[in-house]
């Protein structure tokens, strides 16, 4: 029977790129591999697919095939020798095998690996978040065993080479297939890929080489952090494996509410209540800020909802370019209990003000929403 065109076998165009050829081969090899596909013609199709890819993936053979067809390939030595082809990465990806001839491309279990990251919540007072603080915290993590120094073996003893894998950490199983010997590489079940077996485990760490400890750390909190800000301490997480680097330690900031102050981005909001006389006649009052008290002049005729700005009394920018402001939202307190003298004075005042009322353009609540961004 005449051989089919190799491009037709792989289902690609004659100008297909190497990546397109490899993708087509992967898909077809997965579909027609005899261990997966039990159809009667699967074996022949699989051979045909491999032969086509062996030719078209080789630039020299592909050029000869494009010019002379199958005759050009026959002139180069006949049917390709699949046992010498570099299919190891493809078959390991598709079927979990290392490939032909026993070559393994799997990442070694003994390769250095980075340690896991650790995450904690760091609670701060309002002022600590505003000005920054060096916060001492306790964390629990794994550290090298103080007794065996990380070996996992009881002092005075040493790990022995695994007899099952000969210290390689891997065991191989050879399978005979239509295309030759196929080697499956697996992690050694005896030593779990370490190549060594601890016959006398350390009594302190149980053979882990690590022990759980609580340690104290200083977390440098910069000025201006807010809820949700993350602080990273590089290399302070779980220890690495096989000499790999340690993981990182992360703290998520949570700021406790303040009795008086609220925060809106880099501004601090303060609700301040004054009495009727202060609002009507004006006054100079002391206002609390995160820096201490500050003088605020209340002009005569101040209305409820009036907002005063104390420049530079807000939150420092995390980027280091100045501070926000403190916004003082004034509320006028109407007395609910009057003495006889106070009532008489208000009645005299009322007689001079008249009884005419005017609708307000904006309510106190509307002005407050503007400040709060609602």
Model confidence pLDDT, tens digit, residues 163-173: 888 888 888 87
What pLDDT is stored for residue 101 in this prediction? 43
Locus of tokens 């402001």: 325
Structure tokens at 61: 């053979």
Best CA proximity match to 311, nearest among 268, 279, 368: 268
Mean pLDDT for 60-66 is 87
Confidence of residue 186 (pLDDT cuts 50, 70, 90): confident
| Mean pLDDT score, 184-203 | 85
Q: What is the mean pLDDT of residues 314-341?
A: 89
Predicted confidence at residue 13, as pLDDT, reads 93
CA 83 – CA 90 distance, rounded (Å):
14
Q: For residue 57, give Cα distances in angstroms to 45, 138, 167.
A: 18, 59, 37
- Cα separation, 251 vs 229, in Å, equals 8
CA angle 225, 231, 232 (to 5 degrees): 165
From the list 96, 99, 57, the residue with the least C-alpha distance to 80 is: 57
**Cα distances (angstroms) measured from residue 34 to each of 31, 179, 300:** 9, 11, 94
Quick one: what percent of the chain has pLDDT higher than 90? 40
CB 21 within 8 A of CB 14: no
Q: Binning pLDDT at 50, 70 and 90, where does residue 244 land?
A: confident
Task: Determine the Cα–Cα distance for residues 44 and 31; give it in Å rounded to an integer.
Answer: 13
What is the chain's length? Answer: 374
The full DSSP string for 56-109 is HTSHHHHHHHHHHTHHHHHTTTSS--GGGS--HHHHHHHHS--EETT---SPPT
Are 260 and 233 in contact by the 8 Å Cβ rule? The answer is no
Query: pTM score > 0.95 for this model?
Result: no
């Amino acid at each position: 029977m005449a051989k089919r065109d190799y491009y037709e076998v792989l289902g690609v165009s004659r100008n297909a790129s190497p990546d397109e050829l490899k993708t087509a081969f992967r898909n077809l090899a997965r579909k027609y591999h005899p261990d997966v596909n039990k159809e009667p013609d699967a074996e022949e199709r699989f051979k045909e697919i491999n032969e086509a890819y062996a030719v078209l993936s080789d630039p020299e053979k592909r050029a000869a095939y494009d010019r002379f067809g199958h005759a050009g390939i026959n002139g180069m030595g006949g049917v390709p020798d699949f046992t010498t082809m570099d299919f190891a990465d493809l078959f390991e990806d598709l079927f979990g095998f290392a490939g032909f001839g026993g070559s393994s491309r799997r990442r070694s279990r003994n390769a250095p690996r980075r340690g896991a990251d650790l995450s904690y919540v760091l609670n701060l007072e309002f002022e600590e978040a505003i000005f920054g603080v060096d916060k001492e915290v306790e964390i629990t993590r794994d550290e090298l065993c103080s007794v065996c120094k990380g070996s996992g073996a009881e002092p005075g003893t040493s790990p022995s080479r695994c007899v099952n894998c000969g210290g390689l950490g891997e065991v191989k199983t050879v399978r005979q297939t239509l295309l030759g010997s196929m080697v499956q590489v697996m992690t050694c079940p005896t030593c779990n890929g370490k190549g060594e077996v601890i016959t006398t485990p350390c009594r302190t760490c149980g053979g882990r080489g690590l022990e759980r400890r609580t340690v104290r750390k200083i977390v440098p909190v910069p000025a201006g952090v807010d809820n949700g800000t993350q602080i990273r301490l590089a290399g302070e997480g779980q220890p690495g494996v096989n000499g790999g680097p340690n993981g990182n330690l992360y703290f998520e900031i949570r700021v406790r509410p303040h009795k008086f102050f609220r925060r809106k981005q880099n501004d601090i909001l303060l609700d301040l209540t004054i009495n009727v006389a202060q609002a009507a006649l004006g006054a100079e009052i002391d206002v609390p800020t995160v820096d201490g008290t500050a003088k605020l002049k209340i002009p005569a005729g101040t209305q409820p909802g009036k907002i005063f700005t104390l420049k530079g009394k807000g939150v420092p920018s995390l980027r280091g370019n100045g501070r926000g402001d403190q916004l003082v939202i004034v509320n006028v307190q109407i007395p609910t209990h009057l003495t006889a003298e106070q009532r008489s004075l208000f009645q005299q005042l009322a007689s001079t003000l008249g009884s005419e009322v005017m609708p307000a353009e904006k309510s106190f609540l509307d002005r407050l929403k503007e400040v709060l961004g609602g």
